[in-house]
Amino acid sequence: MVNHPRHALDEVIHAPVRFSIMATLAAAEKAEFGFVRDTVEVSDSVLSKQVATLEKAGYLKVTKGYVGKRPRTWLSITAEGREAFTAHCDALRTITESATRPLTA
Amino acid sequence: MAETDSMDAAEALARADGLRDAVNRRSRWLVRYQLAYGVTSFAMVLALGLFEGAAGVVVSMALWVPAIVALTVYAARQPVAHRGMARSHGVMIGAWGVLYGAALAVGIPAFPGDLAWWLPAAAAVSAPGLASAWLTSRRTAPRAAW
What ipTM did this prediction achieve?
A: 0.89
Would you call A34 exposed, middle or buried from its count of C-beta atoms within 10 A (0-12, 13-18, 19+)? middle
Residues B103 and B73: their CA atoms lie apart, in Å, by 28
Q: B130 lies in a domain?
A: yes
Partner residue facing B20 (CB), from A19, A23, A67: A23
* The CATH fold of domain A5-96: Arc Repressor Mutant, subunit A (1.10.10)
Q: Which residues pair with A61 in a beta bridge?
A: A76
Neighbours of B144 (CB within 10 A): 5
User: Is residue B122 pLDDT above 60, yes or no?
Assistant: yes
Range of the domain at B109: 12-139
> What residue in A sits closest to B24 (Cα-Cα)?
A27
Interface of A with B (CB under 8 A): 6, 9, 14-16, 19-20, 23-24, 26-32, 34-35, 39-40, 67, 86, 89, 92-93, 95-96, 99
Give Cα B110 to chain centroid, integer Å.
29
Instruction: Provide, for chain A, the percentages of residues in helix, strand and coil under a 3-state DSSP scheme, each rounded to the nearest 5.
Output: 60, 20, 20
Of B18, B1, B105, B78, residue with least CA distance to A35: B78
- pLDDT tens digits, A1-46: 557 777 779 999 999 999 999 999 999 999 999 999 999 999 999 9
What confidence score (pLDDT) does residue B144 get?
46
Q: What is the DSSP letter of A38?
A: H
Residues A59 and A12: their CA atoms lie apart, in Å, by 9
Question: Higher model confidence: residue B8 or residue B108?
Answer: B108
Question: Is residue B7 very low, low, confident or very high in pLDDT (cuts 50, 70, 90)?
Answer: low
Question: Is residue A104 very low, low, confident or very high in pLDDT (cuts 50, 70, 90)?
Answer: low
Residues of chain B above pLDDT 70, percent = 92
What confidence score (pLDDT) does residue B141 get?
86
User: Is residue A57 pLDDT above 50, yes or no?
Assistant: yes
User: Is residue B6 pLDDT above 70, yes or no?
Assistant: no
Amino acid at B79: P
Instruction: Provide, for chain B, the percentages of residues in helix, strand and coil under a 3-state DSSP scheme, each rounded to the nearest 5.
Output: 80, 0, 20
Taking the domains of chain A in order of start, what are their residue ranges?
5-96
SS3 category, B130? helix
Residues B131 and B35: their CA atoms lie apart, in Å, by 9
Contact A19 B76 (CB under 8 A): no
Question: Mean pLDDT, to the nearest integer, of A57-82?
Answer: 95
